[in-house]
Structure 1
Amino acid sequence: MKFVGLVGSNADESYNRKLLEFIRRQFKVKFELEVLEIDDIPMFNQDENWEECFQLRLLYHKITRADGVIIATPEHNHTITAALKSVLEWLSFKVHPFEDKPVMIVGASYYDQGTSRAQVHLRKILDAPGVNAFTLPGNEFLLGKAKEAFDGNGNITDQGTVKFLEMCLDNFIKYVGVVSSLKKPKPIEAEDLYCKGAIDTTILGIDPDDPDWLEKAAKQVNAVEGDTYVKLDNGLLTVNQLNMFLNAMPFELTYADDNNQFLYYNDAHPDPNTMLGKRVKEQVGNRLGTVHGTLPPARMKNVEWVVGTLRNGNQEYVRTIVPGTPPEVINTHNYQAMYYPDGSYAGINEIIFNFKPWLDWYLKETGQRLVGGTGMQTVHGATDADSGASSTDAAGSGADLTTDADSGASIQ
């Protein structure tokens, strides 16, 4: 599960930030938590455009896609901070990311009450029309005497408190599971698979379906190549090194931007006919509608569904297993949403690989085996059998896409 934690203070030093960071570290095996700030958000003004604030856009996109939200609120004058109240105003006026979203409230304060009154007020706000969050009832975690609660490394020292916090978080995980079953996905609008519009990174003046698009586009923008260095977020590589790195991946990788233009695939196989999702260089730059132009209309609708599902944030990834392959191949496709710095949709990163060798290796290493009939096999064994790994889980997760994927076509 992926949660976001909202720091309810805009102060540089905050015990509620410490509390969320402790939760993120201490319970990382249970869920993934991303801590978000509200320090650069202006006071709510309905005459202003919320989209002009980067941090508000970030909060909107992160909350929309999260499985649940944990809000850590201080207590100022018996209520929540003005900064947190303002954020909730912004996110319940033109946009409503909290609607039907599971929310847990925690709080830390200097005094014994541990933000109890602020939490009562926050529950009322989250229940208001326009917010409509599903706030976990009861289950209050109130951290009093916050100055003494943490050690120098930001850890809560009292083990009884940590155990109670873990119980509250376990209850929230169960609550998210229940609420998620009631979630209705956003309706998917018709996708423009033929790139009729343009985005900031679209290279204009060249037909996307031109088989020489790559060379012409690279020349037009003076694209670097060879031993020219590229500074990445966490590294410095030449273009040649980047190509070697990506081509050495044990997966077939593709990227299509949020304008539905196919821009890249790695050269993991020298012969396209040996690829699980066949691609050729002449397709680079193509419209997705062109890449999948040979599919019947019903299957094109499945392509739209995958793109629209990821664009809407209904799912962060879509997985499917392509049927009809030989026994030594489990043709697995993973379509992963990508995001711009403000959290908005940036396109699809597709990974295709044969899962069978990985499964065989796992079974050998753990001493387990597959049992059961075809399509109903599960992993059993004396070692690590509670892992829950099963071919049923893998195949079932992509059941809605089998009509799209059974030809081996991929969302390139």
Structure 2
Amino acid sequence: MFNVSKNENVKILLVVGSSRKGSYNQLIADYLRDKYGNIVDFRQADLKSLPVYSEDIENEDFPSVTKLREDVNWADGVLLLTPEHNFTMSVLMKNFIDWCSRVEHVLNGKPTMVTGATLGHLGTVMAQSHLRQALLSPGVKAIAVPNTEVYINAIQDRIKDGKLLEDKAESLNTAFINFIDYIKPGNGYCFSCN
């Protein structure tokens, strides 16, 4: 379906929409990288180095934008981890979408998974909703993979010593395996078998 050979790892680009030290979304990205690094090749997009998008500069040669587009093209799928700022996605995440939706449209047809963590009770539900809408917009046209929605609320109760607790990550693991299964059907990964 997505030209991933049976003998090679799935390639996932992690896009963390937070630059905060101690970011909960970065913690989740680190958890996934540690847990699935043997079956998935991960890269992480550097959102902090991107210039603020403007149509006036979209054709300029920014090394950070070139690298971002190369990373998206490299990936079999893109996992977006968004914080929620004022009931929507972060500025970093919006800037990522803007750069990917113009000129080369690198997210077009790319499988995506959206998640996010928060201290509150709604688990970034508004930010994820807005992000999913943006991913389906005409300039982006990414594939929002079904059965991969995870709203991680009360994250402070799910971490210990700076790490996500395994017994508090079941829905995240299930959604991530669904994402991998969508990209590489018949790969033999089975979360419930572990």
Class of the TM-score when normalised by the shorter of the 2 chains: 0.7 to 0.9
2:71 pairs, out of 62, 65, 89, with 62
Q: Is the 8 A contact 1:22 1:156 kept in 2?
A: yes
What is the CA deviation profile of residues 131-170 of structure 1, one whole-angstrom value per residue up to 9, with x for unaligned ones?
Answer: 0000112421111122332222x321250x3222221111
Mapped partners of 1:51, 1:31: distance in 2: 33
Aligned match of 1:177: 184
Deviation at 1:177, TM superposition (A): 2.7
Aligned match of 1:16: 25
Mapped partners of 1:148, 1:17: distance in 2: 16
Mapped partners of 1:111, 1:138: distance in 2: 23
Count of residue pairs brought into register by the alignment:
177
| Unpaired stretches in structure 2, ≥5 consecutive residues | 1-9, 189-194
| Unpaired stretches in structure 1, ≥5 consecutive residues | 179-385, 387-412
Greater relative contact order (CA < 8 Å, ≥ 6 in sequence): 2
1:93 pairs, out of 95, 102, 109, with 102
Mapped partners of 2:155, 2:175: distance in 1: 18
- Supply the AA of the counterpart residue of 1:47: D
User: For residues 239-254 of structure 1, what are the structure 2 equivalents within 5 Å?
Assistant: none
Mapped partners of 2:176, 2:96: distance in 1: 24
Aligned match of 1:167: 174
User: For residues 16-95 of structure 1, what are the structure 2 equivalents within 5 Å?
Assistant: 16-49=25-58, 51-95=60-104
What is the CA deviation profile of residues 95-150 of structure 1, one whole-angstrom value per residue up to 9, with x for unaligned ones?
Answer: 21101000001101111111111111111000001100001124211111223322
Mapped partners of 1:53, 1:7: distance in 2: 20
Aligned match of 1:155: 163
1:143 aligns with 2:136: no
- Supply the AA of the counterpart residue of 1:155: K
- Supply the AA of the counterpart residue of 1:81: S
Task: Give the ranges of 4+ consecutive aligned residues of structure 1 lying more than 6 Å apart after TM superposition.
Answer: none
Q: CA RMSD in A?
A: 1.8
Mapped partners of 2:138, 2:45: distance in 1: 24
TM-score by length of 2: 0.84
2:141 pairs, out of 132, 144, 153, with 132
Mapped partners of 1:54, 1:7: distance in 2: 19
Larger Rg: 1
Aligned match of 2:5: none
- Supply the AA of the counterpart residue of 1:53: F
- Supply the AA of the counterpart residue of 2:79: I
Q: Is the 8 A contact 1:101 1:134 kept in 2?
A: yes
What is the CA deviation profile of residues 303-349 of structure 1, one whole-angstrom value per residue up to 9, with x for unaligned ones?
Answer: xxxxxxxxxxxxxxxxxxxxxxxxxxxxxxxxxxxxxxxxxxxxxxx
